[in-house]
Amino acid sequence: MRIEFRSDQRGYVLALERDLLGAFVLYRRWYGLHNRRGGMKQQVFLDEESAVQEFKRIETMRGRRGYVAVHRQSGGLAGTV
C-alpha cells in the first residue's frame, strides 16, 4: 500500500510494506515542495492488523490537515518486499 499526499507547500508519502522476515514496515516521508526540508520515519509491526490500522489513522489525519491524495497504489501485502 502506498499513498502520496500534497498540500500547497508540502508533500507526504505513506507506504506499508512487508520485509524479508515477515514484519510489516510503515514508512513515512515528508518534504517541502519549495524547500529542502523533510524527514523520514519507519515503524515496524509484527502483525498486519495493527500496521493497517496505523496506516489508516495517518491517512485520515493527513486529510484533516489539508493534504490531498495525488497518487494511490494499493494491493495485497503478501507479495511486497
Q: What is the pLDDT of residue 73?
A: 81
Structure confidence by residue, pLDDT tens digits, 21-43: 999 999 999 999 999 999 999 99
DSSP 66: T
Q: What is this structure's pTM?
A: 0.83
Q: What is the pLDDT of residue 79?
A: 46
Q: pLDDT-based confidence at 77, cuts 50/70/90?
A: low
Residue 42 Cα distances to 8, 26, 66, angstroms: 25, 5, 23
Q: What is the pLDDT of residue 75?
A: 65
Bridge partners, 28 (sequence order): 14, 41
3-state secondary structure 1-34: CEEEEECCCEEEEEEEEECCCCCEEEEEEEEECC
Is the pLDDT at 5 greater than 50? The verdict is yes
